[in-house]
Each structure stands twice: as structure tokens, then as C-alpha cells.
Amino acid sequence: MTAPAEVRLIDGGYFRESCSLLYQAYRHTPTFAYLFESDRPGYEQRVRATVRELLVRHFADALPALGLLLGERLIGVALISPPQRRLEITESWSWRMRMLLTAGFRCTRRYLDYHEAVIACLPPGAYHMLPLLGVRPEFQGWHYGEQLLEALQHWCAEDVNSRGIVLDTGDPHCLEFLRRQGYREVGQVELGPVHEYILVHPGPQPPAEKGA
């Protein structure tokens, strides 16, 4: 049986665990392989640096993050960008400078272009975004991903103005998983050979007005 896990808001106290978990979750994805040039030496260092800088900025800006925990062990994490704050990280000059120093100019430019292209695909309205989301590889296939997504949907639905959740993936396996969880495609971005899909999970719809 799958042991029960707890979902709760986490902060910078889980920074190191979150770095390790998200690095493991993203280093083999087609998206990061393209953005950070997996065919060139230093790829793993560039992925580590990017995950670290995104987490540093996320926690420094006091943006929400949900953690999935077995006891005190973090086995899943999701960074959340609320609708009114989803552009803050990439617009930070200090973040851009650290990225240039760690990931290099070309990869930083690729990441910024990718981020802007995803934002351009968003449907109108207030949506939460998930810039990074992952479950430790050894805990995948045990329904923990479904538990984390369900908790995210409930958490974001507490914002009465939210239209739902947006995320993206270039991994065909992940794409099929998300479709099974009720996510629907709203756009595509071409990242070299990678087809990046932008998906939305709609939030609760407000009740129709009488007489409408």
C-alpha cells in the first residue's frame, strides 16, 4: 500500500531538499535538455544552477510552495506563481545577472524566450502558474503526483478570482498523465525539436446568475 503523505505549505527551510528534488525531476526532461544544451559539457551544473536560482527568488519573494511529505521527508514540491505575481522572477535584474553568471548568456536567453512564449499562450483571465513541479523519482508511480495535483487545485481554488492552473511540459509521458488529470491544451511552443504544450486545469466556475 502507498503510505499516506501530507501536503502543506513550505518555505525556505526546505530549500536544500527542494533543490535536490527538482533537479532530479527536471534534468532528464526534453525541455531542460534543449534550454540548457544537454549536448554541451556542464549541462548538469547549468540545470542545478537554474533550479537553485529559481528557488532562491521564489522563497525570497515569499511566493507560495506546496510540499508533499512522508513524515519529515520532502517527496514532492510545487512552486506556485499567483496571477498578480507570475512575472516577478524573470523581470528581476539580480536574478538575470545570477543566471548569466551560472547558466551563461545563451541558455539564459533561451529560458527568457521560453518563459515569454508560454506567457503569450495564456488564456485571458487570472490563472495560477506552476513554474516548477516534481515528485522524487523513487516515489513516482505510487499516485503521489495525483495527490499533489489535487491539493494544488484545491489550494488555488480558494482564490475566488482564479480561473484555474496553468503549466507546461515537453515530455510526452507527462503530457498524457496531465490529460488524465483533467488538464487541457491551450497552446504550443516550439523549442527547437521540442513541442512544449501549455495546459490548463480550470478552476471552479462561478454559479450562473438567475435569468441569464
How confident is the model over 200-211, as pLDDT tens digits? 999 866 544 444
Q: Other CB atoms closer than 10 Å to residue 10's CB: what's the count?
A: 20
Predicted pLDDT at 89: 58
User: Is 0.75 surpassed by the pTM of this model?
Assistant: yes
User: 155 with 87: CB under 8 angstroms?
Assistant: no
Closest CA to 126 of 92, 160, 149, 151: 160
Mean pLDDT taken over the chain: 90
Residue 133 has pLDDT above 50, yes or no: yes
Q: Which amino acid is at 20?
A: S
Q: 3-state DSSP helix/strand/coil percent for the chain, to nearest 5?
A: 45, 20, 30
Q: What is the pLDDT of residue 206?
A: 53
Domains of the chain and CATH, by start: 6-202 (3.40.630.30)
pLDDT at 28 over 90: yes
First CA to last CA across the chain, in angstroms? 48
Mean pLDDT of 133-141: 92
Q: What are the tens digits of pLDDT across the range 85-106?
A: 555 556 677 778 888 889 999 9
